[in-house]
Each structure stands twice: as C-alpha cells, then as structure tokens.
Structure 1
Amino acid sequence: DWQAERGRPLIDRQSAHFLVIEPDRAALVDRIERRFDRMLDKGALEEVRQLAALRLDPDLPAMKAIGVRELQAAMAGQSSFPEAIERAKIATRQYAKRQATWFRH
C-alpha cells in the first residue's frame, strides 16, 4: 500500500526548529463566540434547515460539521436554541483545543 511506504522525510526533525504560536485563550474564546454569532447572522440556521430537508445520511461530513447537529436538535425540539448555540460554541472550543494539542506534538 503506497500510504504505508515511507520515504526520506522532507524535514530532519532532529535539526529542525518548530514554532507554534498560540493565541491568548480568552481572546480565542471571544473570537470563537463572535464567529459563531456571525455565522448565525449570515444564515447558518437556514442552511441547516435546508440540509435537514434533504434528509442526507447523518454520517456524511457536511452533517457532522460543528453546529449542524446542535441546531438540528433545537429545530426538532430536543433542546432550546440558546442551549444548541452554546453547545456548538463549546464544540468549537474543544475542536480548537484538539488542534492546539496536535500542533504541540
């Protein structure tokens, strides 16, 4: 399998210097909150309604996007919209944390 084949690394990890710049945590949380609010202002809820109307397979990547399941749950009456929005923002913060962890390792 070609994916299992490993050639010579492009970067020598022993002599390379890696630089990861992490934003201030409070600033990152604020940006995440504002970004999700902007997405809602620009029609994310209607976009999720349209996705739901297509009755797509829930395992498709588009249906797994952060916010889709949370907003669909609110539309189905399984949660309130403020709860769904907060859960989507939490999921976004968790994703950002996983990204930061990945960069550090």
Structure 2
Amino acid sequence: AVLVGRIEKRFDQMLHKGALDEVRRLSALGLGPDLPAMKAIGVRELQAAMAGEIGFPEAIERAKIATRQYSKRQTTWFRHQLEPEWLRLRPGDDLETTI
C-alpha cells in the first residue's frame, strides 16, 4: 500500500514538473514508437490524451497502473536473483564490521 501511494505521488510530481511538455517535445521530433524514449512509462498514455484518444484522467490512471505493473515485475525479478545470506552475530560482534 505504501509503494502504491509513492508511485502515484511520483507520477503526479512528474506531471507537475513538466512531463506533458516533455512528451510534447518528444512527439514534435517525430521519433519512432520503438525507440526507448518513446517506450517510457507515461509517454504513450500522455500522447493518447494529447491526441484526444482518451481523457487526461484516464491517461494518468493508465500510466500509474503501468508503473505499478512495472514495479511488480521488478520485485518478482529481484526476489529470484539473490539467495539470502544470513549473518550470524554473537553478543559483542560489531554489525558494521561484519557487514
């Protein structure tokens, strides 16, 4: 629940800091949709809203959903990457030295 709130807040901050202008500039360059910059989360959604295909509230919600889905994939991937390594500390061991 905390992560979802942070994701939503972050996307709102991106909009406040000029994401729409950035997407307008990218669109004006006529870049192909297969380029990494055009595949960034939020770009397609905001382009669709600017083209009148969907409303801005829907575009924002879709971008937030896409971000949550990406976050879930990252979490799943990361969970399978590292085998936990348990530290065995005894009384008197210094944690910083052990790490």
Normalising TM by the smaller chain, what interval? Answer: 0.7 to 0.9
Unaligned runs of at least 5 residues, structure 2 = 81-99
Bigger share in helix: 2
- Measure the CA separation in 1 of the matches of 2:31 and 2:50: 16
Return the TM-score normalized by structure 1: 0.75
Q: By how many angstroms is 1:104 displaced? A: 1.3
What CA RMSD, in Å, does the superposition of the two structures yield over aligned residues? 0.4
Q: Residue deviations 1:60-99, cap 9 Å, x none?
A: 0000000000000000111000000000000000000000
Question: Identity of aligned pairs, percent?
Answer: 81
Show the counterpart of 1:36: 11
Paired with 1:61 and 1:27, the residues of 2 have a C-alpha distance of 29
**Bigger relative contact order, structure 1 or 2 (CA pairs below 8 A, ≥6 apart):** 1
1:45 equivalent in alignment to 2:20:
yes
Q: How many residues align?
A: 80
Name structure 1 gaps, 5 residues minimum: 1-25
TM-score when scaled to structure 2? 0.80
- Runs of 4+, deviation exceeding 2 Å: none
